[in-house]
Amino acid sequence: MSATLQLADASSVIRLSLHVLAACVWLGGQIVLAGLLPTLRGLGEDAPRRVAAAFGRLSWPAYWLLVLTGFWNYAAVHGQSASSSWNTVFALKMLCVVLAGVGSFLHTKATSARARGIFAGVGTLATMLALIMGIAIAG
């Protein structure tokens, strides 16, 4: 016997739409900027820095929206029984969210190209892992 699929309620649509939109800006923007970096370097010595600063004005609010809607997501499903594996993946996802923020923040403060690259990699990889784990816990 199969269950009938139902539409999500309005609150879930808003909550999940905001979360996905913020993820698109945060992670999608990082990937786009990485792809544009060679072109930006050709536009002038300070072009990458200026574009990164402009991106930061969009991406950091998106990061905090991800955190806010992440708490909202957790509150929306916490009342349901969650398996120990769900709780473990959720905890790992939260660790990745923190690592993503710290790595990205340190990227903005790094003074060498090597450090900027390492911290950008940490931030982006942690964000990708958080995304994958988010999909896993969505059930």
pLDDT at 37: 94
Q: What is the mean pLDDT of residues 102-119?
A: 96
Residue spans of the domains in the chain: they are: 10-137
pLDDT at 111: 94
- Band (79; pLDDT cuts 50, 70, 90): low
DSSP notation for 71-101? HHHHHHHHTS---HHHHHHHHHHHHHHHHHH
Q: Could you tell me where the DSSP H helices lie in the chain? A: 10-23, 29-42, 47-78, 84-109, 113-137
Q: What confidence tens digit (pLDDT) does each residue in 32-56 have? A: 999 999 999 999 999 999 999 999 9
- Band (135; pLDDT cuts 50, 70, 90): very high
pLDDT at 82: 80
Q: What is the mean pLDDT of residues 82-101?
A: 93
Tokens linked to 103: 């790595």
Give the separation between CA 124 and CA 104, rounded to whole angstroms: 8
- Band (81; pLDDT cuts 50, 70, 90): confident
Between 122 and 83, residue with greater pLDDT: 122
Instruction: Tell me if 122 sits within 8 A of 99, measured CB to CB.
Output: yes
- Band (1; pLDDT cuts 50, 70, 90): low
Tokens linked to 75: 């509150």
